Amino acid sequence: MPSASALHYNNQKNLVMKPKTFSETLRQPKNGNDKDPMVATASAPGMIESLPGQSLTRTETETETEIERVEGFQVTKPGEADKEVYNRLETEAEPEFSASLEEAGTEVTEEEGETAFTRDAFFASYPELYEKSISEVIIGTDDRVRISPTTAFPWRAVCSLRITAQDNSRWIGTGWLVSPRTVITAGHCVYMHAQGGWPKSIEVIPGLNDSARPFGSYIGTSFRSVVGWVNDKKREYDYGCIILPRDARPGDKTGVFGFAVKDNPYLMSAYLNLSGYPGDKGGNQQWFMARKAKSLAPRVIYYEIDTMGGQSGSPVWIKVNNARYAVGIHTNGLVSGNSATRIVQPVFNNIQAWKNQGM
Amino acid sequence: MALTILLSCFLVLYWLVKYNNYHMTTTTKSVKGMLYKAATGQPVAGAMVMIAEGGEHQDIASQTDAQGTFFLPEIQVPGTYTLLINYSDESRKITVSISKDSILRIPL
């Protein structure tokens, strides 16, 4: 099925599929999944985001064209890919969009004595020491470090997910709290195209640590994602959330992540922190790693942070003083570079709306 | 002249195919599999199965049910993948070639 962008392009000039000029093809990667992602010029955050291939210089056609009606064929119109899709509503709160680029998290006041050494806190101040320390501590090529205990922030705001799909298959993933009841995760954790769509339920376990569930566990059945994922299954729109029931408010105890839109120069120079629940460690332990980004695309961040199955949905965050801002949602693994759905303005808006729904 | 025309056609075709003017969809699908004990043939429940190496894949892990059934997330097929299976605190890697109609049967 042709992509929405290809169809849009096709409809510009009398439905004729013209070959692009050589220079145009150089600027147009395939659906954001190109093997050599470009460092794109950062768009102004306040602007409506545009994907590679959607020419910023296209002219308005004088006559409207129509798309052939084909049963079962859905076309996502430009601008609708980030439109929210949900299975059920748990709240009547109106979404409020702001023009800001940062949403601060909250860290619940620590009880006396922070027992967990928050690795990112130290190395955020002395990043030049991080690489050296990892090479001294970790033996072999696996550079992840175990987080234990998980009762300190931000580790306790990272949640293990136990997903029961519509076809009763079971999966594990990771999510992170942005409000008392809102857990952000990968779109493919909350909408599984090959497993019947929306899951039956997802168990959310903040700060899971082997058999310990220091903040309890909660069952979520209300999910959110976007048209670009649910309808089009596009990697750039692979994000979503779980809205927990009204009486399930783990974020009140754990604190919550902030989230932010950051431009290319910032992201390329910042250390990215990633923590989640990998299946190769049993799925019950939280493992962390940090690196700088390898490359960027308009809606994807690529990095060489070690991850394994089960870490889908993990937060990719920056630490600024004592504040944590997620800048991506980890989704994909690949030997040449794992990747996250990047938080750009439309993504930020949706996360903010979902956050409000879970207050 | 003929050579020029042929070369031009080739270049046009190359651009069309490579840059999706004519959409060439990559086949992706979720792959079903089953884990069983090699000695007894009994299904292995509660194991984690995930992709360790291969093409780009969703970083979600499947857990086998009572029948030992698991699914790999949507992956490009055909393709060769290394699966990592975590069961009873042990990990094992196995490389499999997956076709469009594969149903994996993996002994432990």
Report the SS3 class of residue A227.
Answer: helix
Q: Which CATH architecture has domain A154-254?
A: Beta Barrel (2.40)
Give the residue numbers spanning the domain of B43: 25-107
Query: Tell me, what DSSP letter sits at residue A346?
Result: H
- The count of structural domains within chain B is 1
Q: Do A173 and B62 touch (CB under 8 A)?
A: no
Cα separation, A329 vs A183, in Å, equals: 11
Q: Do domains A102-152+256-343 and A154-254 have the same CATH topology?
A: yes
Question: In this predicted model, which residue has the larger pLDDT, B101 or A323?
Answer: A323
ipTM over 0.90: no
Amino acid code (one letter) for A275: S
pLDDT of residue A101: 80
Q: Which range has the worst mean pLDDT, A225-229, A347-351, B75-79, B99-103? A: B99-103
Q: What is the pLDDT of residue A75?
A: 58
- Provide, as residue numbers in chain A, all residues whose Cβ is less than 8 Å from the Cβ of B20: 3, 6, 30-31
Please check whether residue B77 lies inside any domain of the structure: yes
Residue in A1, A25, A193 closest to B25 by CB? A1
pLDDT for the residue numbered A74: 54
Cα gap A305→A232, rounded to integer Å = 27
pLDDT of amino acid B19: 57
- In the structure encoding, which two tokens stand for residue B75, read together? 């992956």
CATH code for the domain in which residue B77 is found: 2.60.40.10
Structure tokens at A248: 């399930």
* Domain boundaries along the sequence of chain A: 102-152+256-343, 154-254
- In sequence order, which residues have a C-beta less than 8 Å from that of residue B32 and are 6 or more positions away? B69, B70, B71, B103, B104
Place of tokens 């899971």: A208
Q: In this structure, what token pair is assigned to residue A87?
A: 């299975």
Mean pLDDT of chain B: 87
- Amino acid symbol at A179: S
- Residues β-bridged to residue B75: B29
Question: Can you name the CATH fold of A102-152+256-343?
Answer: Thrombin, subunit H (2.40.10)
- Per residue in A318-331, is it b (16+ CB within 10 Å) or e — as a string? bbeeebbbbbbbbb
Confidence of residue B95 (pLDDT cuts 50, 70, 90): very high
**Contact residues on chain B for A193, CB-CB shorter than 8 A:** 74
State residue A1's pLDDT score: 44
Q: Using a CB-CB distance cutoff of 8 angstroms, which residues of chain B are in contact with residue A172?
A: 48, 60-61, 63
Taking CB atoms and an 8 Å limit, are B59 and A194 in contact across chains? no
* Whole-angstrom distance, CA of residue A220 vs CA of residue A216: 13
- Greater model confidence, B74 or A182: A182
Closest-CA residue of chain A to B84: A280
* Structural Rg of chain A based on CA atoms: 20
* Residue at B41 is within a domain: yes
Q: What's the Rg (C-alpha) of chain B? A: 20
Output the pLDDT for position B6: 87
In a domain, B84, yes or no: yes
Q: Which residue has the higher pLDDT, A261 or B21?
A: A261
- Check: CB of residue A12 under 8 Å from CB of residue A279: no
Residue B47 counted as domain residue: yes
Q: CA A5, A6, A7 angle in degrees (round to 5)? A: 90
User: What pTM was computed for the model?
Assistant: 0.73
Show which residues of A are catalytic.
188, 312
Cβ of B62 within 8 Å of Cβ of A3? The answer is: no
- C-beta contacts of A87-91 below 8 A and 24+ residues apart: A87/A198, A87/A221, A87/A222, A87/A223, A88/A221, A88/A222, A89/A222, A90/A222, A90/A243, A90/A244, A90/A245, A90/A246, A90/A357, A91/A243, A91/A246, A91/A357, A91/A358
Q: Which of A286, A14, A313, A309 is nearest to A146 (CA)?
A: A286
pLDDT at A71: 43
| Average pLDDT along chain A, 359 residues, taken 10 residues at a time | 40 46 43 36 31 37 45 61 80 49 75 38 41 31 86 96 96 98 98 96 98 98 97 96 97 97 95 95 94 95 92 95 93 89 97 97
